Amino acid sequence: MTARPEPGQPPTPDAREPSAMDTVRLRPLNRWQAEGLREDLADLYVESTSTAPGGEYRGREDFLARLADDVRRPGFAMVVAEATALAGCAFGFPMGRDGSWWQGFAGELPTDIEQLTASGHVFAITAIVVHPHQRDRGLAGRLQKRLLADHHASLGATVVDQADRAACAAFLSWGWQRIGEVRRPADPAVLEALVLILGKRTVARPDGLAHDPRTQRPL
């Protein structure tokens, strides 16, 4: 999973000039459009990610491999943010009802999340990338909200390598919550399982989890 925190405080915009957020447009892409932008997206990833000297090439190739794998998944979708150039992106796919995405979850999956997964109401976000020039402007939140809203998801889900503390901190700052750990077969990494609850908290639903009937997909 790809993400980076947004350090510092946002600058106060000059009231006489348009806000930088006003100039950033969000646009959904299908798999073919995403594949057509793969090199530009990889460049955005390299520009937006802190890596050790000499690690840029490997990071770029890893990102392209993950993108190539995800675009083949049913329901793949991406949202890009554009200003004068690409400013950010987020992508993922609807989680399968069989719950295989949660394979390796330590302990029992929370009942509400298991039910939402089985009914097809969970969307897995596998990458969020934001250009440094757009840090501290809430762009990551806009991207994830648009991607999930476009799919009428009741819950967002992702996993992040525990060793990547910056990514974990970023997701927590964007409203995601930890629900446990995941250990995938043949992968030594310990992953943080995170969810983004979209429903409103009520007396009947204190956890905020609820089914969105528009998300229902045929079996």
pLDDT of residue 56: 79
Largest CA distance in the chain: 56
Q: Of 71, 85, 90, 77, whose CA–CA distance to 145 is shortest?
A: 90
pLDDT of residue 57: 82
Helices (H), 71-159: 111-118, 139-150
| β-pairing verdict for 122-130 and 77-82 | unpaired
Whose tokens are 């991406």? That residue is 78
21-76 confidence digits (pLDDT tens): 458 999 999 999 999 999 999 999 999 887 666 667 888 999 999 999 999 999 99
Look at residue 205 and tell me whether its pLDDT is greater than 80: no
Residue, of 199 and 172, whose pLDDT is higher:
172
Total number of residues shown for the chain? 219
114-144 confidence digits (pLDDT tens): 999 999 999 999 999 999 888 667 899 999 9
pLDDT of residue 129: 93
Sign of the torsion angle spanned by Cα atoms 135, 140, 142, 147? positive
Give the CB-side neighbour count of residue 77, counting CA atoms within 13 A: 20
Look at residue 210 and tell me whether its pLDDT is greater than 90: no
Look at residue 11 and tell me whether its pLDDT is greater than 50: no
Instruction: Judge contact between 181 and 106, C-beta under 8 A.
Output: yes
List, in sequence order, every residue forming a beta bridge with 128; answer none if it has no partner.
90
Q: Is the pTM of this model over 0.85?
A: no
pLDDT of residue 19: 47
212 pLDDT band (50/70/90 cuts)?
very low
CATH of domain 20-215: 3.40.630.30
The DSSP secondary-structure symbol of 108 reads P
Rounded Cα distance between 148 and 192, Å, is 20
